[in-house]
């Protein structure tokens, strides 16, 4: 059975092409829900509303999750609350980047 943790692990392979960092470490994924039927719901954001890589990131998320065994569907909701800031980046990655 597919779990939220399995989905999050898979999403580590999806990178923001502008920053070359995965969307989990960037803090772009706010919520992952999986129901009994294998439908996955993802609430996520982008680094800005006008992010030019937004469509590419969203499609990469959809394709990555849809390829997981046991997934029956993928619903991605882009949200702007809370608004993304660099403080959402994983502390280890922030330290590595010198932020």
From first to last of its 99 residues, what are the pLDDT tens digits of the chain?
Answer: 899 999 999 999 999 998 899 999 999 999 999 999 999 999 999 999 999 999 999 999 999 999 999 999 999 999 999 999 999 999 998 898 888
Predicted confidence at residue 98, as pLDDT, reads 85
Predicted confidence at residue 84, as pLDDT, reads 94
**What are the b/e assignments for 43-76, b being 16+ CB within 10 Å?**
ebbbbeeebeebeebbebbbebbeebeebeebeb
The answer, as to whether pTM is greater than 0.75, is: yes
Q: How many CB atoms lie within 10 A of CB 12?
A: 13
Predicted confidence at residue 60, as pLDDT, reads 98
Terminal alpha carbon distance of the chain = 38
**CATH code for residues 4-86:** 3.30.300.130
Tokens linked to 35: 């129901």
């Amino acid at each position: 059975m597919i779990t939220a943790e399995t989905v999050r692990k898979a999403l580590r392979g999806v990178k923001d092409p502008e920053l070359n960092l995965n969307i989990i470490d960037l803090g772009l994924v706010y919520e992952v829900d999986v129901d009994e039927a294998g439908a996955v719901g993802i609430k996520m954001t982008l680094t800005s509303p006008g992010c030019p890589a937004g469509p590419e990131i969203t499609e990469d998320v959809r394709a990555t999750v849809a390829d997981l065994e046991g997934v029956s569907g993928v619903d991605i909701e882009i949200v702007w609350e809370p608004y993304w800031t660099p403080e959402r980046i994983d502390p280890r990655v922030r330290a590595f980047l010198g932020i």
